[in-house]
Each structure stands twice: as structure tokens, then as C-alpha cells.
Amino acid sequence: MSVDGPRTSVFTFESAVHSHHVLRSLDELRRKEILCDLKVEVESRSFRAHSSVLASCSDYFYTRLANHSRPNLTVSLPVEVTVEGFEPLLQFAYTAKLHFTKENILEIHRCAKLLGFHNLDKACFEFLIPKLSDGGTTAREVKQNDENQTLHEKSQAASGNNIPTGDRNSDTGKDNVPQDAENPRATPSTDCPPDISSDKEMHLDLSPLHTKSTSYHIGAEQDHYFQNSVPHLASTTRAELCPFLSMSGTGDDEKLHSATAGCGGDILAMEEELAMDVHCVSTEPSTDKDLNIPDITEGHFIQHGRDLISPADCSHLCPLNTAEARNVLDCIANAGNLSDIGTNQVFDTTEQAFSDLAPKDGVAERSTVEREVAEHLAKGFWPDLSSTLTEQLPLDSLDQSAAGNSSDFHWLKHLDLGAAPDDCPFLRDLSSNGGQISGGDSLSKEDTGDSSCISPIDSRENSECESDVDSVQCDTNGQVQEVDLPFPVEQISSMTRRAFLQMLKQQRLTPEQLEFVQDVRRRSKNRVAAQRCRKRKIDCIYRLEGDIKKLMSEKEKLLQDRDQLRLSMEELRQNLSGLRQNLSMDTSPQSEELQTLARYVSSDCPTSVLLTPMASPSLAGPDREVQANTCLDDFLTDNVAEDTAALDSSIAFLQDSIQTAVTQPSAPELTE
């Protein structure tokens, strides 16, 4: 039987934004070249970066940098890695956003494979490459290509070519625990050429072409890639290729996926806030060689996969894996030619994005989609609004959404809209579009003369006996049918007096109809007035309550100030009493002068007696204290106007004397 100590509860606070802030700060540091301990040379260009960042994102960099903690490293990437492919990857490492064009998507994909970048989901490329490439490659072909690769590597692994892989997790993401036995991070030195660490110039030429001492392995798919994409490497042996390529030949085909796609990687395992931004850029190739991605975004979708999904579920963590995401991106593709959209157009909000993604052929269908989205968003992020929104949404619209495209927007629940409900463009627009103000005629608010309160009231009028308050309206409607009004009854209360009279004149109503119309108008107006009145009354009550609280606070503060002043006054009196005692026992010339002065300034005041207690031994204790205070106050009050000059000089002299007494504590006159 084990005796356990007292159990202590451990609480964990997990910030949902910390990782994002850290990443953003790191990117800021990189842009300012602060704390950058790594220089990456790609072709003729060099990039400053943080080794830890790249090592955490790339198996290649991890393998090459894990054992080199010295600063100012220079890493020359293999020649097969191009700036076109590496620059977006570097941006991705610091921003979790991959900017690509259909011209460079293949190059990025190839470099991502070479460098073993995580979190670039394979399915992303599976989907995007066929969509953006002109060759008509299908997603199935891309997937099949990767499957062939994994199968090939599995066969190679079975044959004994088990090279450490850069992958730390399985493709399924179900096993997020790093397996050190197969983890290259456990034995990174095996992949590092021994001559690198001895490089005295700290210039790590990591190109496999220059590290012939390393025996690396390359899978068939890489061979295929190199033979097609890198012709000059077609004749290169596997041992001369990028070390990362050897990582993918562990024999575990699933790990290859992870190495290239990053699903189930450490970052995912850490439940980091994941964001996959897909910037569909224009067909114009990027001419900006800086790391600042040009503003050529056409479609911008941000999907955060936190909180709602298990980190082990790779397919959910990588939204572009899902069929829903494919549908969305299909919308991008179907929205028109990418080049048709302005190169400087940026979709910063889902509103813009889906406005353009929505079918152009029908407003009703678009409205249905938007309502579906709004409902979904509201349910997911603003539960308080969801009910209201659902109530306001037409039932047929919701039914249509439920039966139609609702499944296409399941992934929207992962959208991170950190805005208030009022800031939600969908809800805002829906309210503005769908919330048609009652009385729906062309009369403006000023024209009707009604206040803002008319909207909810009239909205109730528009509804058809949906609630209890509409019982009156039901009765009214019944009367409307009886009198057979030639115009909508809801117009009666909303129109101006002039318009109302004009309408009565034009309609030639019967006396019964006229009486009914006037009664309806009167009651409606009065109803609104009563509501306004009650609202004002409630507002007044709230305002008065606020005033009461404010006054109570002020009162409390004044009472505290009063108590504080009393304490200060009491302390001052005690100090003054002590000072008088010290002065009375002081036999120094200064003290004699003080006493003389005291007798002078209080020649007709009993205070002089108090200042010279020896002269009046009959008074002592609290009585003398009270009397002294009283007499002194009275004297000062009575004589201040008579001899101000003498008083000022006396006060100054007293102050000097007090100061002298204070600064000379060792004076014999201050000691008994």
C-alpha cells in the first residue's frame, strides 16, 4: 500500500492566441533581422532567419541545425531548392500562411518535399496543383503519385534501406508521440556530415552534392521528381541528393506523408492554433523578391482549427483535406478565371470572399447560402444570437439550406471571427437586408415622423399572428376583412398625416371604414407613444439609479476624506502638544526667546500660561491640553487681523526655532 501525499490540484491555462503572437513576433524579428542566427543561401540570394524556427518547421533544417548551436550559421541549400520555392516556405514557417501562384505551386511543393516542411498538408497540394496547373493533373493523380511514392519507400524500407526519416508522426496523426527509436532528432548526428561540424568558417555547405561523405537515399518519387523537374540531377545518384530525401525512406510510408505534409507533426501535437491560409494569387507571377508577399491575393480563406477538433485528427486539422474545403476551392476556381480578378484585390473578410464565391445567377440562392453561413456562424460563435437569427430567418430558407448546401459549410464552424456579433458582416448584412422595416412603403423615417421605436412595433405588425401580442392584430385583421380596406392596414400608422388624409380622400371610404381607419391609426400611434413613454421612463429610472450610485460613491469618498482629515488633525495636535512640552523644558537661550515671544504674542491670552507650565502648575493633563488648543485658536483668530506683521514674524521665528530644535536632537535643551 502506497502512501500518497496530499494531492494538489493543478490547473492549466492555455492561451489560444499565444502561439500566434509568438509566431508573429518571430516573423517581426526576422523582418528586422533581430536575433537571426542563421543565413540561408538559396541560389544567389540569402535569407536571414532563426534556426530554431526553421528547425521546428523543416526536417531538413532540423537535421542540419540540431547539433549546431553556434550563431551566425550559413546554410547553403541544395541547388535543387530554388528561391521561388523556398521563399514562400520561409514565409509559411513564420506566418503559417503559404502564398503561392499557380506558376510556383509546383516549385513550392517540390521544395517543401525537399526540405520536409511540416503543416503543408499533402492534400493541399493534391487539390491545389490540379486546380492551378495547366496540365490538367487531377487530384487523384497527385494522390496516386504520392501513394506510389510511399509504396515504393515502404518496399525499400522492407529491403533494408531504412534511413532515418524526418517525420515524427504517422500520417494518420493518431500517434503524436515521437518515437525516438526512429526519430532522426534522436540521432541527428547520423545525418550530419562529420566535416560540417569541423567547418572552421562556420559555413555549412549542406548541399549533398558537396557532402559526398554522406550516404543518403532517395525514393523513387524523388527520382522521378528530379528527373523531370531537375534535369541536371537526373544522373545524380541517390547518395548525392538532398539529405532530407533520405529521411523519407524510413520504410514507413505513412511517415513520408507526414514529412511532406506535416499532418500530425509536433506543431499539431502541441495543439497550436492552426491556420491555413490559402491565397489564390493572380496569374501574374510575383516579381517581388522580398519576403513581403505582394498584394496579389484573390481569395483569402482563414480557417482556424482550434478547440473544436482533436489534434490527432489530421483531416480536420488540415481543412483543405476535407471535401468541404475542396468544394470551397472549387468555388474559387468556378468563380472565374483567377486572372479575371484584380491583382490588388484582397479579401479580408468572409463577406467579400463569399460574396464573390456565391453564385451569380440568383440573389435568392446567394441569400440562402449567406443565411446558412450566418446561421452557422451564429450558432458557433454567438449562441445568443443564434436563436434570434433563427427566429428571424424564414423557415423556408432554413429548410432549403438544410436540404441543400448546408453540408458545404460545415468547416465554417472553424472560422475564427474574433469580432463582436455586430461586426459579423453576414449578420450585419442580413439584418440590413432581411430586416425590412415595416410599413415597407417608400415613406422615410423622417416622413413618418416616428421614432426609432417604430421598427419593432411594425415588425410585429408585419408578422401574421405569430405571438400573443398579435392577438390584437388578428382582431384588427379580422376587422380589416370586415370593412374590406382597399389598402394595407399597416400603412395607416406609418404614413404621415398629409399622406393619410390624401389617401382617405382618394379612396373614398365609407363612414364605417373611415371610423375604423382612424381608430386603427389612433390606437397604433398611441401604442407607439406608450412604448416610447415607457422606454423613457425606464431610461429615466436607469439614469436615476446611476446618479444614485454616483452620489453614494461621492458621499463615501467625502466621508473617507473627513475621517482622514480628522486623523491628520489629531496627529497635528499631538505633535503640537509635544512640541510645547519640549519648549517648556528647554532652558536654552532659544527657548527663552521662544517663551518670551510666547508671552509677547499672548500677553492677554491664557495660552502664555500653558506655554510656560512652570508658571501655572495648577493646570496639567488633558484639561491643560484642551485649554491650550482652545486659547491658541482663539488668540490666533482674534488677533490675526490686529497684528498680522507681528504674527507673521512670530510664526517665522517659531518655524525657525522648530527647525533648529529638530535638526539638533542632541542639544542639551531637548534632553531632560
Partner DNA sequence: CGTACTTGTCATGAA
Partner DNA sequence: TATTCATGACAAGTA
Alpha-carbon distance 432 to 484, whole Å? 33
Q: Which is nearer to DNA, 449 or 488 (CB)?
A: 449
Between the CA atoms of 163, 167, 169 and 171, what dihedral angle is there, to the nearest 10 degrees? Answer: -100
Least CB distance from residue 320 to DNA, whole Å?
47
| Residue 505 beta carbon to DNA: minimum distance, rounded to whole angstroms | 12
CB of 521 to DNA, least distance (A): 7
The residue length of the chain stands at: 672
Query: Which of 224, 445, 460, 599 touches DNA (CB under 7 A)?
Result: 460
Q: How far is the CB of 441 from DNA (least distance, A)?
A: 16
User: Residues 197-226: x/- map of binding to DNA (CB under 7 A)?
Assistant: ------------------------------
Residue choice 22, 530, 640, 651 for contact with DNA (CB under 7 A): 530
Quote the least distance from Cβ 508 to DNA, whole Å. Answer: 17
Should residue 522 be labelled a site residue for DNA when binding is judged by CB under 7 A?
yes
- Give least dist CB 531 to DNA, A: 5
Cβ neighbours of 487 (radius 10 Å) = 15
In sequence order, the β-bridge partners of residue 74 are: 39, 203
Binding flag, residue 465, DNA (CB under 7 A): no
Nearer to DNA, 499 or 576 (CB): 499
653 binds DNA (CB under 7 A): no
Q: Per rule CB under 7 A, is residue 500 in the interface with DNA? A: yes
In this complex, which beta carbon is closest to DNA, that of residue 467 or of residue 603? Answer: 467
Cell of residue 32, nine digits: 528586422
Identify the residue whose cell numbers are 521546428: 56
Task: Say which residues have a Cβ less than 8 Å from residue 176's Cβ, sequence separation at least 6.
Answer: 169, 264, 266, 268, 269, 311, 312
With a CB cutoff of 8 Å and minimum separation 6, the contacts of 284 are: 101, 296, 339, 343
Give yes or no for residue 445 binding DNA (CB under 7 A): no
Closer to DNA at the Cβ: 514 or 658?
514
Q: Which of residues 267-296 bind DNA (CB under 7 A)?
A: none
- Looking only at residues 85 through 124 of this chain, which bind DNA when binding is defined by CB under 7 A? none
C-alpha cell recorded at residue 654: 517659531
Q: Where do we find the cell 415607457?
A: 534
Q: Does 524 bind DNA (CB under 7 A)?
A: yes
Stretch that binds DNA, among 171-179, 424-432, 514-522, 629-637 (CB under 7 A): 514-522
Q: Give the integer Cα–Cα distance in Å for 308 and 310.
A: 7
Q: Which is nearer to DNA, 410 or 536 (CB)?
A: 536
Bridge partners (DSSP) of residue 275 are: 304
Rounded distance between C-alpha atoms, residue 478 and residue 343, angstroms: 59
Pick from 244, 236, 120, 234: which is nearest to 191 by CA?
A: 244
Q: Measure the CA–CA gap between 197 and 191, rounded to whole angstroms.
A: 12
Q: What is the rounded CA–CA span in Å between residue 501 and residue 499?
A: 5
Contact residue for DNA among 39, 210, 326, 527 (CB under 7 A): 527
CA distance 249 to 256: 7
Q: What is the DSSP letter of 274?
A: P
- Within 10 angstroms of residue 372's Cβ, the number of other Cβ atoms is 24
* Piece in contact with DNA (CB under 7 A), picked from 147-155, 167-175, 408-416, 531-539: 531-539
Query: What is d(CA 603, CA 55) in angstroms, rounded to the nearest whole number?
Result: 93
**Count of residues touching DNA (by CB under 7 A):** 27
Cell readout for 82 is: 530554388
Nearest distance in Å: CB 478, DNA: 12
- Please identify which residue in 45, 174, 410, 534 interacts with DNA, judged by CB under 7 A: 534
Is 529 among the residues that bind DNA (CB under 7 A)?
yes
Q: Which three cell numbers stand for residue 573?
A: 495636535
**Per CB under 7 A, 543 contacts DNA:** no
Which residue, 538 or 551, is less far from DNA as judged by CB?
538
Distance CA 99, CA 122 (A): 16
Q: Tell the smallest beta-carbon distance from residue 535 to DNA (Å).
A: 9
The contact pattern for DNA, residues 466-485, with x = CB under 7 A and - = no contact, is --xx-xx---x---------
Residues found near DNA in the complex (CB under 7 A): 449-450, 457, 460, 468-469, 471-472, 476, 497, 500, 519, 521-527, 529-534, 536-537
